[in-house]
């Protein structure tokens, strides 16, 4: 019989807030805006996260890229000192003989003027092998892809990306036509399906020619990258280890970098997760402002209700209960504001997806719960100072206030 | 019932020490009706605050119902205030946003009584104090006399053995003041010890015992002269 019942405590708290309705609503609005911003921004962040990961994982997770030069983060910043042995077509062939490796593409890339069908277009030229469509997961629309010619003696064939085909030949037949790339003439044997954009890069705006031809065109001695696809039955890490051994024995040193798609997705996942949290923290700033609002209003409330505090003490309310009472009001303000903010944020992100379908948003329940807990925490922290002042008042002084 | 021994209360005002109470010794039997009188600044309110456990003496001891309450901690003192002492203030100290009913129910609520029990006790108190049709009025909708009656109902709802009243009629007109005094005296008749601070000589004359405070000391105690 010595402690107020939870329901009565709750009522007394709400009653205190309702007595100053406008003020309470405005204060809670501050928190609502903060929480709304956090939820909206994290929703957009999470949406972007999912979107980017989906874009990347369309290549499959069994893709491994090898680049020349060892990227290290210790010592002198001379990652590409003179004794780097470049990657060669032969390196690619050697890797292709590994049992777990399904396909290998030796890549050289550059920009060149492509002339054909009476038009010209500056575009990206990829020097690749016959396996490129399989490794990169792009389909051939018409004709066929580059044949499996001996790498050093490939014929001058070209396959056009969707956009290049459209731009040069329009609706007319492109197969069998000739295009000039750099100084050399190539015969068009196929064109690719449209893949659209990947993170702003138009991968349809490309021409594929044999690796050795591209090396000559761009005056390159070596490859820029080797991409390979491994059997899904073996782990990326195990295959990467095999690759490391093969290349190390061929180069006598580790002067190359292996990037597995799995690892890349992991890194990307981490980066995007951090980005989401960073963006959410921006929303958190407005939450902080809301917290200051609660602090101010609760301080005013303690001043105004000093007489009431004195009375409660006279009626036998303990100091700790006074503390709980005012903390309770601060937390209630924040929690109510938080719930409204959740509604605003979720509604806002839904509306956003409706208006701008290209920019995906995804409300994650984890963030929603975290945001509400954050609101309560803000209320708690903002309430501590005024509540402590209320509890610290001397009853005689407090009673004299009225 | 009440036993004060050599009570001292010193306030620090600037770098001067002000003795609000010095060497106050008094006792009161259960059921007494005492008026503490004296000029302002004589220490009568300080004495009432000590008696009500709202303030702690700097020296001396205070026994209430055989318990040495001056040595208790804040929690235990709060408990005694809750169950044994009812306060009536000059300015009523009603919670402005609560109805008369809820103001009277507040001590019951704070002590954890259920809604049903409260309902019957408060309803009975309202009619006993002639406030039956004012239950849902807020303080600003009540007259001064009605407000003080609500405050007295609140002070007695926990059935305390001691009522401490600080100028209970000080903020009321003559008629309402007499009415409030009569209510308090009726409670005293029922056996509740009543101690009130006043500088109204008419009210003081009504009490059975008068204690006159001057400069923090008991200058005159009518019970001592009589015996």
Q: What is the mean pLDDT of residues A265-274?
A: 86
pLDDT confidence tier of residue A77, bands split at 50, 70 and 90: very low
Q: Which of A228-232, A320-324, B147-151 is predicted with the least confidence, judged by mean pLDDT?
A: A228-232
Identify all chain B residues contacting A16, using CB atoms and an 8 Å cutoff: 97
Q: Are residues A222 and A325 in the same domain?
A: no
Cβ of residue B98 closer than 8 Å to a chain A Cβ: yes
DSSP H helix total and E strand total for chain A: 12, 12
pLDDT score of A1 more than 70? no
Q: Are residues A278 and A242 in the same domain?
A: no
Q: How many CA atoms lie within 13 A of A357 on its CB side?
A: 0
pLDDT score of A296 more than 90? yes
Output the pLDDT for position A333.
94
Pairing mode, strands B193-197 and B162-166:
parallel
| Integer angstrom CA distances of residue A269 from A51, A280, A281 | 11, 16, 18
Q: Among partner residues A3, A15, A399, which is closest to B112 by beta-carbon distance? A: A3
Output the pLDDT for position A54.
80
Q: Is residue A383 part of a domain?
A: yes
Identify all chain A residues contacting B80, using CB atoms and an 8 Å cutoff: 316
Say which residue, B55 or A70, is predicted with more confidence: B55
Q: Are residues A119 and A213 in the same domain?
A: yes
A317 and B98 in contact by Cβ < 8 A? no
Q: Is residue A63 part of a domain?
A: no
pLDDT score of B225 more than 60? no
A2 and B82 in contact by Cβ < 8 A? yes
Please name which of B149, B114, B152, B151 lies closest in space to residue B130, comparing C-alpha atoms: B149
Please name which of A381, A385, A368 lies closest in space to residue A283, comparing C-alpha atoms: A368
Which of B9, B45, B54 to substitute to test the interface with A, most A CBs within 10 Å? Answer: B54
A315 and B107 in contact by Cβ < 8 A? yes
Last residue of a domain, one of A254, A276, A301: A254
Give the chain B residue nearest A8 (alpha carbons): B109
Give the chain A residue nearest B73 (alpha carbons): A318
Output the pLDDT for position B88.
96
Q: Are residues A208 and A305 in the same domain?
A: no
Name the percent of chain A lying above pLDDT 70. 94
Number of A:B CB contacts under 8 A? 78
Burial class (CB in 10 A: 0-12, 13-18, 19+), A115: middle
Chain A: nearest CA to B147, how far in angstroms?
15
Summarize pLDDT for A132-152 with one digit per residue, the tens: 888 888 889 999 999 998 888
Distance of alpha carbon A337 from alpha carbon A249, whole angstroms: 65
Q: What is the mean pLDDT of residues A381-400?
A: 94
pLDDT score of A24 more than 90? yes
Output the pLDDT for position A402.
61
A88 three-class SS: coil
Structural domain span for residue A152:
85-254
Q: Is residue A67 part of a domain?
A: no
Q: Are residues A211 and A323 in the same domain?
A: no
Output the pLDDT for position A71.
62
A315 and B109 in contact by Cβ < 8 A? no
Q: Among partner residues B55, B82, B91, which is closest to A316 by beta-carbon distance? A: B82
Q: Are residues A100 and A241 in the same domain?
A: yes
Q: Is residue A260 part of a domain?
A: no
pLDDT score of A233 more than 80? yes
Distance of alpha carbon A36 from alpha carbon A341, whole angstroms: 4
Which of A3, A6, A8 to substitute to test the interface with B, most B CBs within 10 Å? Answer: A8
Name the percent of chain A lying above pLDDT 90. 44
Torsion of CA A130, A136, A139, A143, to 10 degrees: -20
Q: Are residues A106 and A182 in the same domain?
A: yes
Summarize pLDDT for B82-133 with one digit per residue, the tens: 999 999 999 999 999 999 999 999 999 988 889 999 999 999 999 999 999 9
Q: Are residues A170 and A289 in the same domain?
A: no
Chain B: nearest CA to A33, how far in angstroms?
29
Quote the number of domains for chain A.
2
Q: Are residues A30 and A170 in the same domain?
A: no
Last residue of a domain, one of A205, A229, A254: A254
**DSSP, res B133:** G
Structure tokens at A74: 């210790």
| Chain A residues 317-336 with a CB less than 8 Å from chain B | 317-319, 321
Q: Are residues A227 and A286 in the same domain?
A: no
Q: What is the mean pLDDT of residues A166-191?
A: 91
Q: Among partner residues B54, B82, B96, which is closest to A395 by beta-carbon distance? A: B54
pLDDT score of B210 more than 50? yes
Q: How many CA atoms lie within 13 A of A100 on its CB side?
A: 18
Q: Are residues A90 and A224 in the same domain?
A: yes
Identify all chain B residues contacting A5, using CB atoms and an 8 Å cutoff: 109, 112, 114
Distance of alpha carbon A145 from alpha carbon A135, whole angstroms: 13
Q: Which residue(s) pair with B220 in the sheet?
A: B212
Q: Is residue A77 part of a domain?
A: no
pLDDT confidence tier of residue A2, bands split at 50, 70 and 90: low
Output the pLDDT for position A72.
56
Q: Is residue A124 part of a domain?
A: yes
**Secondary structure, 3-state, A353-399:** HHHCCCCCCCCCHHHHHHHHHHHHHHHHHHHHHHHHHHHHCCHHHHH
Distance of alpha carbon B194 from alpha carbon B174, whole angstroms: 21
Q: Is residue A76 part of a domain?
A: no
pLDDT score of A76 more than 60? no
Last residue of a domain, one of A254, A279, A312: A254
Identify all chain A residues contacting B109, using CB atoms and an 8 Å cutoff: 4-5, 8, 12
pLDDT confidence tier of residue B227, bands split at 50, 70 and 90: very low
Q: What is this structure's pTM? A: 0.72
A379, A326 contact by CB (below 8 A)? no
Distance of alpha carbon A396 from alpha carbon B54, whole angstroms: 6
Output the pLDDT for position B226.
46
pLDDT score of A218 more than 50? yes
Output the pLDDT for position A26.
94
pLDDT confidence tier of residue A391, bands split at 50, 70 and 90: very high
Q: Are residues A300 and A205 in the same domain?
A: no
| ipTM reported for the complex, 2 dp | 0.93
A1 and B109 in contact by Cβ < 8 A? no
pLDDT score of B154 more than 50? yes
Q: What is the mean pLDDT of residues A329-344?
A: 94
Output the pLDDT for position A73.
54
Cβ of residue B205 closer than 8 Å to a chain A Cβ: no
Cβ of residue A6 closer than 8 Å to a chain B Cβ: no
Q: What is the mean pLDDT of residues A333-357?
A: 90
Cβ of residue A401 closer than 8 Å to a chain B Cβ: no
Q: Is residue A75 part of a domain?
A: no
The residue whose two tokens read 């001590």 is: B107
Q: What is the mean pLDDT of residues B188-216?
A: 93
């Amino acid at each position: 019989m010595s402690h107020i019942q939870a329901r009565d405590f709750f009522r007394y708290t709400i009653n205190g807030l309702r007595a100053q309705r406008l003020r309470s609503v405005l204060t809670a609005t501050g928190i609502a805006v903060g929480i709304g911003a956090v939820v909206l921004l994290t929703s957009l962040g999470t949406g972007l996260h999912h979107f980017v990961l989906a874009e990347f994982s369309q290549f499959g997770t069994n893709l491994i890229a090898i680049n020349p030069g060892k990227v290290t983060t210790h010592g002198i910043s001379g990652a590409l000192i003179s004794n780097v042995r470049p990657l060669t077509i032969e390196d690619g062939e050697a890797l292709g003989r590994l049992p777990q490796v399904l396909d290998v593409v030796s890549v050289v890339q550059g920009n060149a003027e492509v002339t054909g069908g009476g038009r010209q277009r500056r575009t990206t030229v990829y020097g690749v092998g016959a396996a490129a469509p399989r490794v990169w997961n792009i389909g051939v629309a018409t004709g066929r892809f580059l044949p499996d010619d001996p790498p050093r003696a490939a014929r001058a064939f070209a396959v056009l990306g969707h956009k290049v085909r459209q731009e040069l030949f329009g609706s007319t037949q492109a197969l069998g036509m000739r295009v000039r790339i750099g100084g050399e003439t190539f015969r068009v044997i196929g064109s690719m399906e449209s893949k659209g954009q990947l993170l702003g890069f138009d991968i349809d705006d490309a021409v594929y020619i044999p690796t050795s031809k591209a090396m000559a065109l761009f005056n390159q001695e070596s490859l820029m990258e080797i991409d390979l696809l491994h059997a899904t039955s073996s782990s990326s890490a195990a295959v990467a280890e095999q690759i490391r051994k093969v290349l190390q024995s061929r180069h006598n040193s580790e002067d190359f970098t292996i990037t597995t798609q799995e690892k890349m997705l992991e890194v990307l996942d981490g980066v995007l997760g951090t980005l989401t949290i960073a963006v959410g923290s921006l929303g958190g700033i407005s939450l902080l402002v809301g917290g200051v609002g609660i602090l101010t209003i609760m301080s005013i409330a303690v001043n105004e209700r000093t007489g009431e505090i004195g009375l409660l003490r006279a009626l036998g309310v303990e100091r700790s209960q006074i503390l709980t009472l005012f903390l309770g009001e601060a937390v209630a303000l924040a929690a109510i504001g938080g719930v409204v903010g959740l509604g605003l944020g979720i509604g806002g992100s839904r509306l956003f997806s409706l208006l701008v379908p290209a920019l995906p948003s995804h409300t994650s329940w984890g963030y929603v719960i975290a945001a509400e807990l954050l609101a309560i925490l803000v209320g708690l922290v903002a309430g501590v100072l005024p509540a402590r002042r209320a509890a610290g008042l001397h009853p005689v002084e407090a009673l004299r206030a009225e | 019932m009440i036993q004060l021994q050599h009570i001292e209360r010193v306030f620090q005002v600037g770098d001067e020490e002000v003795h609000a109470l010095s060497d106050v010794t008094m006792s009161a039997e259960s059921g007494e009706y005492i008026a503490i009188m004296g000029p302002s600044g004589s220490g009568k309110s300080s004495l009432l605050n000590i008696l009500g456990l709202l303030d702690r003496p700097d020296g001396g001891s205070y026994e209430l119902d055989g318990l040495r309450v001056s040595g208790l901690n804040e929690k235990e003192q709060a408990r005694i205030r809750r169950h044994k002492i009812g306060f009536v203030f000059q300015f009523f100290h009603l919670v402005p946003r609560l109805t008369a009913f809820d103001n009277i129910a507040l001590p019951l609520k704070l002590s954890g009584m259920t809604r049903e029990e409260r309902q019957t006790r408060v309803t009975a108190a309202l009619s006993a104090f002639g406030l039956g049709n004012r239950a849902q009025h807020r303080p600003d909708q009540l007259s001064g006399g009605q407000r003080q009656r609500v405050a007295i109902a609140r002070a007695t709802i926990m059935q305390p053995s001691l009522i401490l009243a600080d100028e209970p009629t000080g903020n009321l007109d003559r008629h309402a003041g007499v009415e409030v005094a009569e209510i308090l005296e009726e409670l005293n008749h029922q056996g509740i010890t009543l101690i009130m601070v006043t500088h109204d000589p008419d009210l003081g004359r009504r009490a059975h015992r008068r204690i006159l405070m001057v400069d923090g000391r008991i200058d005159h105690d009518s019970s001592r002269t009589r015996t």
